[in-house]
Structure 1
Amino acid sequence: MKPMIAILLAALVSASFAGEEWKPLFNGKDFTGWSFDTLDKAAPETIWSVADGVISVGGKDKPNGVMRTEKSYSNYELEFEWRWPDSGGNSGCLIHCSDPRLMNVWPKSIEVQLMKDNAGDFWEIGEAIEVTPEQIAPPGKKGPSRRRLNLTDGSEKPMSEWNTMRVVAKGNAVEVFVNGTLVQKGWDASVSEGAICLQAERANVQFRNIRIKEK
Protein backbone atom coordinates (compact mmCIF):
# COMPACT_ATOMS: atom_id res chain seq x y z
CA MET A 1 0.00 0.00 0.00
CA LYS A 2 2.77 2.43 0.92
CA PRO A 3 4.55 2.16 -2.47
CA MET A 4 1.27 2.94 -4.28
CA ILE A 5 0.71 6.04 -2.10
CA ALA A 6 4.25 7.20 -2.83
CA ILE A 7 3.72 6.75 -6.58
CA LEU A 8 0.48 8.76 -6.48
CA LEU A 9 2.12 11.53 -4.47
CA ALA A 10 5.03 11.64 -6.90
CA ALA A 11 2.61 12.00 -9.81
CA LEU A 12 0.75 14.85 -8.10
CA VAL A 13 3.97 16.71 -7.31
CA SER A 14 5.27 16.26 -10.85
CA ALA A 15 2.02 17.57 -12.27
CA SER A 16 2.39 20.80 -10.30
CA PHE A 17 5.66 21.48 -12.16
CA ALA A 18 4.48 20.16 -15.53
CA GLY A 19 4.48 23.54 -17.27
CA GLU A 20 8.07 24.36 -16.38
CA GLU A 21 11.31 23.34 -18.07
CA TRP A 22 14.29 21.53 -16.63
CA LYS A 23 17.54 23.47 -16.60
CA PRO A 24 20.97 21.93 -15.94
CA LEU A 25 22.84 23.07 -12.84
CA PHE A 26 25.91 21.15 -14.02
CA ASN A 27 26.91 21.43 -17.69
CA GLY A 28 28.76 18.12 -17.70
CA LYS A 29 32.10 19.73 -18.54
CA ASP A 30 33.21 22.09 -15.78
CA PHE A 31 32.05 23.92 -12.67
CA THR A 32 30.52 26.98 -14.32
CA GLY A 33 27.86 28.36 -11.97
CA TRP A 34 29.42 26.86 -8.85
CA SER A 35 31.82 28.10 -6.17
CA PHE A 36 33.78 26.18 -3.52
CA ASP A 37 34.56 26.43 0.17
CA THR A 38 36.93 24.04 1.94
CA LEU A 39 38.45 23.74 5.35
CA ASP A 40 42.14 24.43 5.66
CA LYS A 41 41.92 26.38 2.38
CA ALA A 42 42.42 23.14 0.46
CA ALA A 43 42.51 23.71 -3.31
CA PRO A 44 39.16 22.61 -4.82
CA GLU A 45 40.91 20.72 -7.62
CA THR A 46 42.43 18.37 -5.04
CA ILE A 47 38.90 17.21 -4.12
CA TRP A 48 36.56 17.80 -7.10
CA SER A 49 37.05 16.79 -10.74
CA VAL A 50 34.91 16.28 -13.86
CA ALA A 51 35.14 13.56 -16.52
CA ASP A 52 32.57 12.10 -18.93
CA GLY A 53 29.73 14.15 -17.48
CA VAL A 54 30.39 12.99 -13.91
CA ILE A 55 31.55 15.00 -10.89
CA SER A 56 33.93 12.93 -8.78
CA VAL A 57 34.38 14.04 -5.19
CA GLY A 58 37.60 12.58 -3.84
CA GLY A 59 36.74 13.41 -0.28
CA LYS A 60 38.37 10.46 1.45
CA ASP A 61 41.19 11.66 3.71
CA LYS A 62 40.58 15.25 2.53
CA PRO A 63 39.17 18.29 4.38
CA ASN A 64 35.41 18.84 4.42
CA GLY A 65 34.01 21.24 1.84
CA VAL A 66 31.05 22.25 -0.29
CA MET A 67 30.40 23.10 -3.91
CA ARG A 68 27.73 25.80 -3.94
CA THR A 69 25.51 27.25 -6.64
CA GLU A 70 26.24 30.90 -7.35
CA LYS A 71 22.49 31.55 -7.58
CA SER A 72 19.77 31.24 -4.96
CA TYR A 73 16.57 29.31 -5.61
CA SER A 74 13.06 29.02 -4.22
CA ASN A 75 10.01 27.03 -5.29
CA TYR A 76 11.75 24.38 -7.35
CA GLU A 77 12.19 20.73 -8.12
CA LEU A 78 15.81 19.58 -7.92
CA GLU A 79 16.97 16.26 -9.33
CA PHE A 80 20.36 14.56 -9.45
CA GLU A 81 22.01 11.16 -9.40
CA TRP A 82 24.70 10.02 -6.96
CA ARG A 83 26.64 6.87 -6.18
CA TRP A 84 29.42 5.52 -3.98
CA PRO A 85 32.19 4.34 -6.33
CA ASP A 86 34.11 2.26 -3.77
CA SER A 87 32.62 2.14 -0.28
CA GLY A 88 29.66 3.77 1.39
CA GLY A 89 30.21 7.07 3.13
CA ASN A 90 28.76 10.42 4.03
CA SER A 91 27.63 13.35 1.91
CA GLY A 92 24.59 15.55 1.61
CA CYS A 93 22.64 18.05 -0.44
CA LEU A 94 22.19 21.32 1.45
CA ILE A 95 19.21 23.43 0.42
CA HIS A 96 18.19 27.01 1.23
CA CYS A 97 21.81 27.85 2.08
CA SER A 98 22.68 31.31 3.38
CA ASP A 99 25.47 32.25 5.84
CA PRO A 100 28.68 30.34 5.04
CA ARG A 101 30.53 28.35 7.68
CA LEU A 102 27.81 28.47 10.29
CA MET A 103 28.87 25.02 11.49
CA ASN A 104 32.24 23.61 10.52
CA VAL A 105 32.39 24.50 6.81
CA TRP A 106 28.64 23.92 6.37
CA PRO A 107 26.50 26.99 5.62
CA LYS A 108 23.26 27.79 7.39
CA SER A 109 20.82 25.45 5.64
CA ILE A 110 18.69 22.32 5.74
CA GLU A 111 20.65 19.21 4.81
CA VAL A 112 19.05 16.43 2.83
CA GLN A 113 21.21 13.49 3.86
CA LEU A 114 22.94 11.23 1.32
CA MET A 115 24.83 9.08 3.83
CA LYS A 116 24.70 5.40 2.87
CA ASP A 117 21.50 3.76 4.19
CA ASN A 118 20.24 7.11 5.53
CA ALA A 119 19.39 9.01 2.34
CA GLY A 120 16.51 11.40 2.91
CA ASP A 121 17.11 12.27 6.56
CA PHE A 122 16.97 15.99 7.31
CA TRP A 123 19.69 17.65 9.38
CA GLU A 124 19.02 21.15 10.65
CA ILE A 125 22.04 23.42 10.25
CA GLY A 126 20.93 26.63 11.92
CA GLU A 127 17.48 26.33 10.37
CA ALA A 128 14.40 24.31 11.37
CA ILE A 129 11.76 22.21 9.65
CA GLU A 130 8.73 20.41 11.07
CA VAL A 131 8.22 16.64 10.73
CA THR A 132 6.12 14.09 12.61
CA PRO A 133 7.19 13.64 16.27
CA GLU A 134 8.39 10.07 15.74
CA GLN A 135 10.89 11.29 13.14
CA ILE A 136 12.80 13.45 15.60
CA ALA A 137 15.93 11.58 16.63
CA PRO A 138 16.58 11.19 20.39
CA PRO A 139 18.63 13.95 22.04
CA GLY A 140 22.36 13.49 22.44
CA LYS A 141 24.92 14.58 25.02
CA LYS A 142 24.97 18.08 23.55
CA GLY A 143 21.20 18.59 23.66
CA PRO A 144 18.29 18.19 21.21
CA SER A 145 19.07 16.31 18.02
CA ARG A 146 19.27 18.15 14.71
CA ARG A 147 18.44 14.93 12.84
CA ARG A 148 15.00 14.22 11.38
CA LEU A 149 14.68 10.57 10.35
CA ASN A 150 13.36 9.59 6.93
CA LEU A 151 10.15 7.66 6.36
CA THR A 152 11.41 4.46 4.72
CA ASP A 153 14.18 1.88 4.64
CA GLY A 154 15.57 0.11 1.61
CA SER A 155 15.03 2.86 -0.97
CA GLU A 156 18.71 3.07 -1.95
CA LYS A 157 20.33 0.87 -4.59
CA PRO A 158 23.28 -1.47 -3.95
CA MET A 159 26.79 -0.09 -3.68
CA SER A 160 28.26 1.48 -6.85
CA GLU A 161 24.84 1.74 -8.57
CA TRP A 162 23.41 5.16 -9.41
CA ASN A 163 20.62 6.52 -7.19
CA THR A 164 18.25 9.36 -8.09
CA MET A 165 17.19 12.03 -5.62
CA ARG A 166 14.41 14.52 -6.23
CA VAL A 167 13.87 17.41 -3.82
CA VAL A 168 10.65 19.39 -4.18
CA ALA A 169 10.70 22.75 -2.37
CA LYS A 170 7.42 24.68 -2.40
CA GLY A 171 7.20 27.63 -0.05
CA ASN A 172 8.19 26.36 3.39
CA ALA A 173 7.54 22.69 2.57
CA VAL A 174 10.06 20.13 1.33
CA GLU A 175 9.50 16.63 -0.05
CA VAL A 176 12.28 14.18 -0.88
CA PHE A 177 12.10 11.20 -3.23
CA VAL A 178 14.81 8.54 -3.58
CA ASN A 179 14.57 6.33 -6.64
CA GLY A 180 10.92 7.35 -7.04
CA THR A 181 9.87 6.64 -3.45
CA LEU A 182 8.75 9.41 -1.09
CA VAL A 183 11.23 9.16 1.78
CA GLN A 184 10.84 12.50 3.58
CA LYS A 185 8.30 15.26 4.04
CA GLY A 186 8.69 18.44 6.07
CA TRP A 187 6.76 21.68 6.48
CA ASP A 188 6.88 25.09 8.19
CA ALA A 189 10.60 25.38 7.45
CA SER A 190 12.28 28.47 8.85
CA VAL A 191 13.62 29.31 5.38
CA SER A 192 12.33 28.93 1.82
CA GLU A 193 15.13 30.27 -0.38
CA GLY A 194 18.88 30.00 -0.80
CA ALA A 195 21.76 28.41 -2.64
CA ILE A 196 22.16 24.66 -3.15
CA CYS A 197 25.31 22.85 -1.97
CA LEU A 198 26.75 19.37 -2.38
CA GLN A 199 29.06 18.17 0.37
CA ALA A 200 32.53 16.69 0.35
CA GLU A 201 32.52 14.91 3.70
CA ARG A 202 35.57 12.64 3.88
CA ALA A 203 34.18 10.08 1.44
CA ASN A 204 34.40 9.40 -2.29
CA VAL A 205 31.11 10.10 -4.05
CA GLN A 206 30.02 10.93 -7.59
CA PHE A 207 27.25 13.11 -9.01
CA ARG A 208 25.72 13.53 -12.45
CA ASN A 209 22.62 14.88 -14.24
CA ILE A 210 22.08 17.75 -11.77
CA ARG A 211 19.11 19.79 -12.94
CA ILE A 212 16.41 22.11 -11.61
CA LYS A 213 12.87 23.07 -12.55
CA GLU A 214 11.78 26.40 -11.11
CA LYS A 215 8.14 27.14 -10.42
Structure 2
Amino acid sequence: MFSKQTFLICLFLISINYAASAQKIKLFNGKDLKGWHADVPAKDKNPDTPASFIVRDGKLVSMGNPKGHLITDAVFSNYRLEVEYRFTGKPGNCGVLVHASTPRVLYKMFPKSLEVQMQHQDAGDFWCIEEDITVPNMEERRGPKEKWGVSAGKERRIKNLTDGSEKPLGEWNSMSIECFGNTVKVWVNGVLVNEGTNCTASKGQIAIQAEGAEVEFKKLELTPIKN
Protein backbone atom coordinates (compact mmCIF):
# COMPACT_ATOMS: atom_id res chain seq x y z
CA MET A 1 0.00 0.00 0.00
CA PHE A 2 1.38 3.39 -1.01
CA SER A 3 2.18 5.89 1.72
CA LYS A 4 0.88 9.42 1.43
CA GLN A 5 4.42 10.63 0.67
CA THR A 6 4.84 8.06 -2.13
CA PHE A 7 1.47 9.06 -3.57
CA LEU A 8 2.41 12.74 -3.59
CA ILE A 9 5.75 11.99 -5.28
CA CYS A 10 3.98 9.96 -7.99
CA LEU A 11 1.45 12.75 -8.49
CA PHE A 12 4.26 15.28 -8.79
CA LEU A 13 6.10 13.19 -11.40
CA ILE A 14 2.90 12.70 -13.38
CA SER A 15 2.26 16.46 -13.35
CA ILE A 16 5.80 17.13 -14.60
CA ASN A 17 5.41 14.63 -17.45
CA TYR A 18 2.05 16.10 -18.36
CA ALA A 19 3.41 19.63 -18.42
CA ALA A 20 6.34 18.52 -20.60
CA SER A 21 4.06 16.81 -23.10
CA ALA A 22 1.45 19.57 -23.04
CA GLN A 23 3.90 22.17 -24.29
CA LYS A 24 4.83 20.20 -27.40
CA ILE A 25 3.34 21.70 -30.54
CA LYS A 26 2.49 19.39 -33.42
CA LEU A 27 3.05 21.46 -36.54
CA PHE A 28 1.53 18.70 -38.66
CA ASN A 29 -1.68 17.04 -37.46
CA GLY A 30 -1.57 14.07 -39.83
CA LYS A 31 -4.82 15.10 -41.51
CA ASP A 32 -4.42 18.38 -43.37
CA LEU A 33 -2.16 21.42 -43.81
CA LYS A 34 -3.85 23.56 -41.16
CA GLY A 35 -1.40 26.13 -39.81
CA TRP A 36 0.61 26.24 -43.04
CA HIS A 37 0.44 28.11 -46.33
CA ALA A 38 2.21 27.38 -49.61
CA ASP A 39 4.27 29.85 -51.61
CA VAL A 40 4.77 28.36 -55.08
CA PRO A 41 5.73 30.94 -57.74
CA ALA A 42 4.38 28.79 -60.60
CA LYS A 43 0.89 29.27 -59.21
CA ASP A 44 1.12 33.03 -59.83
CA LYS A 45 0.65 32.46 -63.57
CA ASN A 46 -1.39 29.26 -63.38
CA PRO A 47 -3.56 28.73 -60.28
CA ASP A 48 -4.34 25.22 -61.55
CA THR A 49 -0.70 24.16 -61.15
CA PRO A 50 -0.59 20.83 -59.25
CA ALA A 51 -0.06 21.09 -55.50
CA SER A 52 3.54 20.94 -54.32
CA PHE A 53 2.52 19.80 -50.85
CA ILE A 54 -0.13 17.22 -50.00
CA VAL A 55 -1.23 14.90 -47.19
CA ARG A 56 -1.04 11.21 -48.10
CA ASP A 57 -1.60 8.24 -45.78
CA GLY A 58 -1.21 10.44 -42.73
CA LYS A 59 2.07 11.94 -43.92
CA LEU A 60 2.96 15.40 -45.20
CA VAL A 61 4.50 15.01 -48.66
CA SER A 62 6.68 17.49 -50.50
CA MET A 63 6.17 16.47 -54.12
CA GLY A 64 9.41 18.17 -55.19
CA ASN A 65 7.77 20.03 -58.07
CA PRO A 66 6.56 22.65 -58.76
CA LYS A 67 9.26 24.20 -56.62
CA GLY A 68 8.30 26.34 -53.67
CA HIS A 69 7.84 26.38 -49.92
CA LEU A 70 5.30 25.36 -47.32
CA ILE A 71 5.46 27.94 -44.54
CA THR A 72 3.99 28.05 -41.05
CA ASP A 73 1.47 30.78 -40.38
CA ALA A 74 3.01 31.31 -36.93
CA VAL A 75 6.37 32.80 -35.97
CA PHE A 76 8.56 30.89 -33.50
CA SER A 77 11.64 31.52 -31.39
CA ASN A 78 13.60 29.48 -28.83
CA TYR A 79 12.53 25.95 -29.67
CA ARG A 80 13.61 22.45 -30.58
CA LEU A 81 12.11 21.10 -33.79
CA GLU A 82 11.88 17.32 -34.29
CA VAL A 83 11.51 16.14 -37.89
CA GLU A 84 11.20 12.59 -39.24
CA TYR A 85 11.54 12.31 -43.02
CA ARG A 86 12.55 10.05 -45.88
CA PHE A 87 13.12 10.30 -49.61
CA THR A 88 10.53 8.06 -51.24
CA GLY A 89 12.27 7.44 -54.56
CA LYS A 90 15.25 8.96 -56.28
CA PRO A 91 17.34 10.86 -53.70
CA GLY A 92 17.54 14.59 -54.13
CA ASN A 93 17.17 17.98 -52.54
CA CYS A 94 14.97 19.38 -49.79
CA GLY A 95 15.42 21.45 -46.66
CA VAL A 96 13.93 22.86 -43.49
CA LEU A 97 14.16 26.64 -43.21
CA VAL A 98 14.24 28.32 -39.82
CA HIS A 99 13.83 32.01 -38.98
CA ALA A 100 12.03 32.53 -42.29
CA SER A 101 10.56 35.97 -42.99
CA THR A 102 10.44 37.99 -46.23
CA PRO A 103 9.31 35.73 -49.11
CA ARG A 104 11.18 35.28 -52.41
CA VAL A 105 14.26 37.34 -51.59
CA LEU A 106 16.61 34.92 -53.38
CA TYR A 107 16.09 33.87 -57.01
CA LYS A 108 12.47 35.05 -56.62
CA MET A 109 11.90 31.75 -54.81
CA PHE A 110 13.55 31.41 -51.39
CA PRO A 111 12.39 33.32 -48.30
CA LYS A 112 14.88 35.14 -46.10
CA SER A 113 15.98 32.41 -43.69
CA LEU A 114 18.65 29.97 -42.59
CA GLU A 115 18.25 26.65 -44.39
CA VAL A 116 19.08 23.36 -42.72
CA GLN A 117 19.87 21.11 -45.64
CA MET A 118 18.22 17.70 -46.04
CA GLN A 119 19.72 16.89 -49.44
CA HIS A 120 20.77 13.25 -49.58
CA GLN A 121 24.31 12.83 -48.15
CA ASP A 122 24.48 16.51 -47.16
CA ALA A 123 21.96 16.56 -44.30
CA GLY A 124 22.83 19.23 -41.76
CA ASP A 125 24.61 21.71 -44.02
CA PHE A 126 23.65 25.35 -43.42
CA TRP A 127 22.66 27.52 -46.38
CA CYS A 128 22.51 31.25 -45.72
CA ILE A 129 19.57 32.96 -47.43
CA GLU A 130 19.93 36.68 -46.67
CA GLU A 131 20.64 35.63 -43.07
CA ASP A 132 24.05 34.60 -41.75
CA ILE A 133 25.61 32.43 -39.06
CA THR A 134 29.10 31.72 -37.70
CA VAL A 135 30.63 28.28 -37.19
CA PRO A 136 34.08 27.05 -36.12
CA ASN A 137 36.61 26.40 -38.90
CA MET A 138 34.65 28.78 -41.09
CA GLU A 139 37.10 29.00 -43.99
CA GLU A 140 37.53 25.24 -44.09
CA ARG A 141 33.78 24.68 -44.24
CA ARG A 142 32.63 27.71 -46.26
CA GLY A 143 35.55 28.57 -48.50
CA PRO A 144 37.69 31.72 -48.83
CA LYS A 145 36.45 34.54 -46.61
CA GLU A 146 36.34 37.07 -49.46
CA LYS A 147 33.68 34.94 -51.15
CA TRP A 148 31.33 34.66 -48.16
CA GLY A 149 27.88 36.20 -48.47
CA VAL A 150 24.17 35.63 -48.13
CA SER A 151 22.98 36.58 -51.60
CA ALA A 152 23.22 35.14 -55.12
CA GLY A 153 26.75 34.37 -56.30
CA LYS A 154 28.24 34.26 -52.81
CA GLU A 155 29.48 31.30 -50.77
CA ARG A 156 26.32 30.62 -48.82
CA ARG A 157 26.87 26.94 -47.99
CA ILE A 158 28.47 25.91 -44.69
CA LYS A 159 29.30 22.21 -44.73
CA ASN A 160 28.22 19.97 -41.87
CA LEU A 161 30.58 18.31 -39.40
CA THR A 162 30.06 14.67 -40.34
CA ASP A 163 29.39 12.36 -43.25
CA GLY A 164 27.45 9.14 -43.02
CA SER A 165 24.89 10.23 -40.44
CA GLU A 166 21.95 9.53 -42.75
CA LYS A 167 20.24 6.15 -42.98
CA PRO A 168 20.04 4.18 -46.25
CA LEU A 169 17.73 5.58 -48.89
CA GLY A 170 14.08 4.82 -48.15
CA GLU A 171 14.54 4.54 -44.38
CA TRP A 172 13.29 7.18 -41.96
CA ASN A 173 15.72 9.80 -40.70
CA SER A 174 15.32 11.97 -37.64
CA MET A 175 16.52 15.56 -37.64
CA SER A 176 16.53 17.80 -34.57
CA ILE A 177 17.01 21.54 -34.95
CA GLU A 178 17.52 23.60 -31.82
CA CYS A 179 17.16 27.36 -32.15
CA PHE A 180 17.92 29.32 -28.99
CA GLY A 181 18.76 33.01 -29.08
CA ASN A 182 21.29 33.41 -31.90
CA THR A 183 22.50 29.79 -31.86
CA VAL A 184 21.35 26.93 -34.08
CA LYS A 185 22.29 23.27 -33.53
CA VAL A 186 21.40 20.33 -35.75
CA TRP A 187 21.39 16.58 -35.07
CA VAL A 188 20.77 13.87 -37.67
CA ASN A 189 19.82 10.48 -36.25
CA GLY A 190 21.19 11.56 -32.89
CA VAL A 191 24.55 12.81 -34.21
CA LEU A 192 25.46 16.50 -33.83
CA VAL A 193 26.15 17.53 -37.42
CA ASN A 194 26.24 21.33 -37.23
CA GLU A 195 26.32 24.15 -34.71
CA GLY A 196 26.45 27.87 -35.28
CA THR A 197 26.30 31.11 -33.32
CA ASN A 198 25.76 34.80 -34.04
CA CYS A 199 22.85 34.02 -36.34
CA THR A 200 21.48 37.28 -37.74
CA ALA A 201 17.91 36.20 -36.89
CA SER A 202 16.48 34.69 -33.73
CA LYS A 203 12.86 34.17 -34.71
CA GLY A 204 10.70 33.56 -37.74
CA GLN A 205 8.49 31.11 -39.54
CA ILE A 206 9.45 27.53 -40.33
CA ALA A 207 9.34 26.33 -43.92
CA ILE A 208 9.71 23.09 -45.87
CA GLN A 209 10.97 23.06 -49.41
CA ALA A 210 9.77 21.46 -52.61
CA GLU A 211 13.04 21.37 -54.50
CA GLY A 212 13.00 18.53 -56.98
CA ALA A 213 12.68 15.31 -54.95
CA GLU A 214 9.66 13.74 -53.26
CA VAL A 215 10.01 13.64 -49.48
CA GLU A 216 7.63 12.28 -46.84
CA PHE A 217 7.36 13.74 -43.35
CA LYS A 218 5.68 11.81 -40.55
CA LYS A 219 6.69 14.08 -37.68
CA LEU A 220 7.05 17.85 -37.34
CA GLU A 221 6.92 18.63 -33.65
CA LEU A 222 8.14 21.72 -31.84
CA THR A 223 9.02 22.07 -28.16
CA PRO A 224 9.50 25.59 -26.81
CA ILE A 225 12.67 26.27 -24.82
CA LYS A 226 12.22 28.63 -21.91
CA ASN A 227 14.76 31.40 -21.30
> What range describes the TM-score normalised by the shorter chain of this pair?
0.7 to 0.9
User: Aligned partners of 1:44 and 1:103: how far apart in 2?
Assistant: 22
Structure 2 residue identity aligned to 1:39 = P
- 1:169 equivalenced with 2:179 (yes/no): yes
User: Aligned partners of 2:49 and 2:55: how far apart in 1?
Assistant: 12
1:30 matched residue in structure 2: 32
1:135 partner SS: helix
2:42 partner SS: helix
The match for 2:51 among 26, 42, 46 is 46
TM-score (norm 1): 0.85
Q: Using a 3 Å threshold, how does the CA distance of structure 1 residues 171 and 162 change in structure 2: closer, same or farther?
A: same
How many residues align structurally? 195
TM-score (norm 2): 0.81
- Whether the aligned pair in 2 keeps the contact of 1:137 and 1:149 (CA below 8 Å) is no
2:74 partner SS: coil
Q: Using a 3 Å threshold, how does the CA distance of structure 1 residues 34 and 45 change in structure 2: closer, same or farther?
A: farther
1:5 matched residue in structure 2: none
User: Aligned partners of 2:170 and 2:141: how far apart in 1?
Assistant: 28
1:151 matched residue in structure 2: 161
1:116 matched residue in structure 2: 120
Shift of 1:185: 0.2
Structure 2 residue identity aligned to 1:67 = L
1:70 matched residue in structure 2: 73
The ranges of structure 1 where at least 4 consecutive aligned residues each deviate by more than 6 angstroms after the TM superposition are: none
- 1:180 equivalenced with 2:190 (yes/no): yes
2:96 matched residue in structure 1: 93
Q: What residue ranges of structure 2 are gaps of 5+ in the alignment?
A: 1-18
- 1:202 equivalenced with 2:212 (yes/no): yes
Structure 2 residue identity aligned to 1:108 = K
1:46 partner SS: coil
User: Aligned partners of 2:198 and 2:130: how far apart in 1?
Assistant: 15
Structure 2 residue identity aligned to 1:129 = I
- Whether the aligned pair in 2 keeps the contact of 1:36 and 1:44 (CA below 8 Å) is no
Shift of 1:143: 5.1
Shift of 1:33: 0.2
1:82 partner SS: strand
2:85 matched residue in structure 1: 82
Indicate the RMSD between aligned Cα atoms, in angstroms: 1.8
Q: What residue ranges of structure 1 are gaps of 5+ in the alignment?
A: 1-17
